[in-house]
Every structure is written in C-alpha cells, then in structure tokens.
Amino acid sequence: MSELKPIIGLEVHCQLTNLRSKLFCSCSADYRGKPPNTNICPVCIGEPGSLPVLNREALISVLKVAIALKADISRFTYFSRKNYFYPDLPKNFQISQYDGAGGIPIARGGSIDIGGRIVRIRRIQLEEDPGRIVYEGTITSSTGLLMDYNRSGIALVEIVTEPDITSPREARVFLEKLRSLLEYIGVFDGSLEGAMRCDANISIPGGGRVEIKNISSFHDVEKALSFELARQKQRMVRGLGVIRETRHWDPRRRITVSLRVKEEEQDYRYFPEPDLPPIIVTDALIEEAERSMPILPYEKIDLYVSKYGLSRGLAEILVSSKDLSELYDKIVECYGKPGRVASWLIEDLLPLLDKLGVGVKDSKAKPEDIAYLLKSIDEGLIDRSRALSMLRSMVLEGSRPVIVFEHSLESRISLVELDRIISEVVEAEGKAFQDAIRNPKALNYLVGLVVKRCGGRADPREVYKLLSKKVREYRRSRR
C-alpha cells in the first residue's frame, strides 16, 4: 500500500503573543504562570450581560500576517458564533470568523514555499482561544479533569491550508517556515508553551478524512501524521476501511486515539455574533499594518545572496530563525567578512548550541565578543580549538573572551615601544587612519597591522584603545 500517498491539510492556531490584552476584553494576555482562574473577567468567561469589544491591535496584527503571506485581504468581515458544549468553552460557543459555509475571513489565499513546493493558504481568520483542560493522567486514562480559564479569550490567528501537503515531513517543514515568518513580523513567540497548536487532517485514497486535534509541537505533528498514515494504510490492507472521525494524539504512547465521529458543520449551529459589529478594513488600517512590517525572511535571503554573496542554501539556514539572523547581522556589523561569519555560525556555533541544549535566543554570548574571537583567530593570537573552548564559556556564562598571551609578562611590549609602533603605523597608513576617523570600524585594519608588527606581544584591545585615543586627539586638533 506504499503507493497510497496521503492528502494532508493543516489548521494552525497561533496566539498573537505581541498583544497586552485578550481579544475581546481588557484581561492581560500574559496568563502563563498565574494561579488558575485568576486572569478572567465576565467577558472572557461569558457571564450574562457582558459585551465583547474587539482589540484593535489584534486586527492590525492579523493584517500583518495576511500581508506577510501575500494573501488577499477582505475589506468587509464579521464574527460568528460556533456553538458547542465542551468544558473549555465557558460560553458554550466560540467567537470565530468561520460560519460553516466559509464566512468572510480577514484574508484568503497566500502561500508558503517549503523548498520548491508551494503550500497554498485557504483562509486566515481571527478567533478566541478556549480555556485549558488539565487531565489527571492522559485523556484516555484520566478519571477527572480540571479547568483553567486564564487562557480563555486569548487572541488567535487561525491559518488553514489547502490539502497540498503530501507527507508528514512536509507538514513539519511548513510549520517551521510559518513560525519563522510570524516571529519575523513580531506577532508571535514560538518559545512560549502552547503558543502554536495544530489540527491536522489526513486521508488516503479510498478512506475517510481523519482530523487529529490539538498537536502542540512540530515534532509531534510529524509523529502523529506518520502514525496515522501507517494506521490508515493497515486498515485499508485489512479491508476495514477508514471512517471519518476526530482523533487525539497521545504524545506519551505516541499513538492517535479516537475521540468522536466527526461532526457535520450544521452541528455547530453557526450564526453571526450579535454583540460585535462588522469590520470595515480601510486603506488606512492596511497602511498602518504595512508601515510596521520588517524585512521578511524571503526578502532577507535575497539580500544575503545579492549583498554578501552567500549561497542560497547558506542564506536559508541563517534566515530560518529570527534570532540566528539577528545575531549574524550584529556580528557582521562588528567584524565584517559575512562569508566567514556565516561559516563560523553554522559549522561551529550551532553544533555547540545543539550539544549544550541551548537555543540561539538563550545563548549568553554577545555578538561583539564573538566578533573579537574571530579577529583573534585571524590575527593568529589563538587557534580554533582554544576559540571553541572560550565560546562554550561565552554561551553558558556570558564571559568575555580573554586572550592569554604565551609570552611572559617580562616579554610583553612596553607602552613606550607600543606607542612608537602605533605612531609609525599611523604615519605609514595615512589613508587608513583617515578612514578610521570617518568610520571607527576601519580601526580594525590598523589594529591588525600593529599587532603583527609587535610580533603578537600586544593586546589587540589595548592597541584599539590607543588608536581610538589618537583618533580623538586628531579630531580635537582639527576643531
């Protein structure tokens, strides 16, 4: 049955983590770590007589998502009630932009390139997050459950794909690309627990569509789909068929379990939300969203290729994480040599971080210190092995790289001799000195010349300070 290729579509729910308050009330959006059921109000738990008010920043944020995905923005949209009873839904309905017939979401269309293949976006919409169910054990073994409504009402952007994904691996790649894009535009922080959750729909030819609910990580999406694909193929081989149903991914046992036979859309009894007016998306709103858009990942890849001469593959690795890309930019700003920096990050820093179990965002190594480390290698002051040893301490402790010279204190160059050599280099390299007056980064070239002439007996940082002093003296003399 290996010829039965799966048809996969994803419904991705991402919290808009840049917001200070929930989608329809003034409760804090920072609910994590707070005592259960303390971050709530009459609106987000649906008390009679409470009225929702749309968070304007949420609207701007979801417009930025639509722009980043190159989707078609709706100029008129509205909210609907999705009615169903479940413990995590205190109102017994969810406010969403989907109404069973499709509704009018904030945007339609758009796509993400997952490496030569395009995954199309069906719709992008705003909705509120339900509360959080805490099971005593697993969903199948629990004898009871607890409810925490602190999350209820958090703003979600739902991104629904077309069924263009053809393998569990592609599903994971899509989610990684989507996360990176949302983090670049500043509306999402994927490091927060539960910030991105996914419902995956999968079927094979001849079988019914199965929905796997609330998968909470990229790895688990790939694992859940891989298990479900194998399960469906086995059922087809045995002649049992695959029924349309909703299943739950159990990450402990690494299996999917049946939750319920899939509901029909009419079971939700959709109707327009009477307490919220329709939304008119004006040119001014779209322009406001566009003004706050940063450079996007696919634009940055083109920039690295055209400006720095990096290969597209290398650029894609650097841009895959916003934190990595920002670190790269800062090191290049301090050190130059973009190709050298790219190779160092990918061949040395990333493997070290992976070995230590530390993310780029959590590393304590400062960009300027990494730049200094690279300069020290270039100048022959330390070898790569010692540099990697220093880098480990920099990552874990934030320590600065200290270059220990092999020469004894007695053999170090005296300040008098160092000042003489600096003066000789400045006189011989007049143009380079003038460049340094206009741009302090140009001092690095002179530092290298002085250290080389001193035979490695001078501390590059001390040389840099003395050269900077000469630049300041020159500027004062010209006033």
Same domain, 307 and 201: no
Question: Average model confidence (pLDDT) for the chain?
Answer: 90
Q: Select from 346, 373, 397 the last residue of a domain.
A: 397
Q: Which residues contact 185 (CB under 8 A, 6 or more apart)?
A: 64, 65, 68, 293, 294, 296
Among 397, 430, 446, identify where a domain stops: 397
440 and 364 in one domain?
A: no
pLDDT of residue 266: 65
d(CA 51, CA 284): 27
Reduced 3-state DSSP string for 100-166: CCCCCCCEECCEEECCCCEEEEEEEEEEECCCEEEECCCCCCCCCEEEECCCCCCEEEEEEECCCEC
| Contact (Cβ atoms closer than 8 angstroms) between residue 81 and residue 275 | no
What is the percentage of the chain residues whose pLDDT exceeds 90?
A: 65
113 and 233 inside one domain: yes
Residues 392, 448, single domain; the answer is: no
pLDDT of res. 444: 80
Res. 34: pLDDT tops 90: yes
Which CATH number does the domain housing residue 459 bear? 1.10.10
By CB atoms closer than 10 A (0-12, 13-18, 19+), residue 136 is: exposed
How far is Cα 479 from Cα 472, in angstroms, rounded to an integer?
11
Q: Give the pLDDT mean for 197-206.
A: 95
pLDDT confidence of residue 410: 43
Average of pLDDT values for 135-146?
Answer: 78
Same domain, 319 and 452: no
Q: Is residue 30 part of a domain?
A: yes
Whether 405 shows a pLDDT value over 50: the answer reads: no
Structure tokens at 448: 């290298």
Q: Are residues 350 and 420 in the same domain?
A: no
**pLDDT grade for 472, boundaries at 50, 70 and 90:** confident
Confidence of residue 263 (pLDDT cuts 50, 70, 90): low
Q: Which of 44-48, 137-141, 160-164 has the lowest mean pLDDT?
A: 137-141
Give domain status of residue 404, yes or no.
no
H or E segment at 213?
strand 210-215
User: Which among 103, 437, 87, 146 has a CA at the least distance from the CA of 95?
Assistant: 103
| Domain shared by 255 and 389, yes or no | no
What's the predicted TM-score (pTM) here? 0.79
Q: For 447-469, what is the mean pLDDT?
A: 81
195 in any annotated domain: yes
pLDDT for the residue numbered 399: 81
Range of the domain at 282: 7-289
Contacts of 365 (CB under 8 A, 6+ apart): 349, 391, 394, 395, 398
Report yes or no on 335 lying in a domain: yes
308, part of any domain = yes
Token code pair at residue 273: 């939300």
Q: Which of 247, 258, 197 is nearest to 225 (CA)?
A: 247
Task: Looking at the structure, tell me whether residues 454 and 375 fall in a common domain.
Answer: no
Rg (Cα) of the chain, in Å, rounded?
Answer: 29
Identify the pLDDT of residue 408: 39
Count how many domains the chain has.
3
Q: Are residues 205 and 313 in the same domain?
A: no
In a domain, 1, yes or no: no
Residue 2 lies inside a defined structural domain of this protein: no
Residue that finishes a domain, picked among 337, 363, 397 = 397
Q: Clarify whether residues 234 and 324 are in a common domain.
A: no
Residue type, 368: E
User: Is 266 contained in some domain?
Assistant: yes
Residues 246 and 284 in one domain: yes
| Neighbour tally for 416: CB within 10 Å | 7
Q: Does residue 283 sit in the same domain as residue 304?
A: no
